[in-house]
Amino acid sequence: MNPNIEKLQPYPFTKLATLKKDLVPVDKPHIALSIGEPKHTPPAFVRDELIENLDKLSAYPATKGIDLLRESIARWLCQRFQLQKLCADSQVLPVNGTREALFAFAQAMVSPGTKVLMPNPFYQIYEGAALLAGASPHFINCTADTGFKPDFASVSEQTWRDCELLYICTPGNPTGALLGAEDLRELIELADRYDFVIASDECYSELYFDEKSPPVGLLQVCEQMGRTDFARCVVFHSLSKRSNLPGLRSGFVAGDAAILEKFLLYRTYHGCAMPLPNQYASIAAWQDEQHVRHNRALYSEKFAAVLEILDGCLDVQQPQASFYLWPRVGDGEHFARELFRQQNITVLPGAFLAREADGINPGREYVRMALVATLDECIEAAKRIREFCR
Q: Is 283 a member of any domain? A: yes
d(CA 312, CA 7): 42
Same domain, 30 and 73: no
Q: What is the pLDDT of residues 206-254, one digit of tens each?
A: 999 999 999 999 999 999 999 999 999 999 999 999 999 999 999 999 9
pLDDT value for 124 = 96
Which of 255, 288, 321 terminates a domain? The answer is 288
What secondary structure letter does DSSP report for 124? T
Do 380 and 331 lie in a common domain?
yes
C-alpha–C-alpha distance, residues 359 and 264, integer Å: 39
Beta strands at 251-255 and 324-325: parallel, antiparallel or unpaired: unpaired
The H or E element containing residue 237 is: strand 233-238
Both 231 and 302 in a single domain? no
Mean pLDDT, residues 323-342 taken together: 98
Taking the CA atoms of the chain, what radius of gyration do you get in angstroms? Answer: 21
DSSP per-residue letters across 306-373: HHHHHTTTSB----SBSSEE--B-SSHHHHHHHHHHHH-EE-EEGGGG---BTTB-TTTTBEEEETTS
Same domain, 27 and 98: no
One domain for residues 62 and 182: yes
CATH of the domain at 322: 3.90.1150.10
The arithmetic mean of pLDDT across residues 183-201, rounded, is 98
Average pLDDT over residues 170-184: 98
**Same domain, yes or no: 211 and 116:** yes
For residue range 39-83, what is the model confidence (pLDDT) as tens digits? 999 999 999 999 999 999 999 999 999 999 999 999 999 999 999
Mean pLDDT of the chain: 97
Identify whether 333 is part of a domain: yes
Q: If you average pLDDT over residues 2-26, what whole number do you get? A: 95
Confidence category of residue 165, pLDDT binned at 50, 70, 90: very high
Domain range for 130 is 52-288
The pLDDT confidence band at residue 347, using thresholds 50, 70 and 90, is very high
Q: What is residue 21's predicted lDDT score, i.e. its pLDDT?
A: 94
Same domain, 159 and 264: yes
Point out the domain boundary residue: 273, 288, 303.
Answer: 288
Beta carbons within 8 Å of 119's beta carbon, 6+ residues apart: 139, 140, 142, 150, 167, 168, 169, 172
Query: Residue 275: its pLDDT value, please?
Result: 97
* Overall average pLDDT of the 176-205 stretch: 98
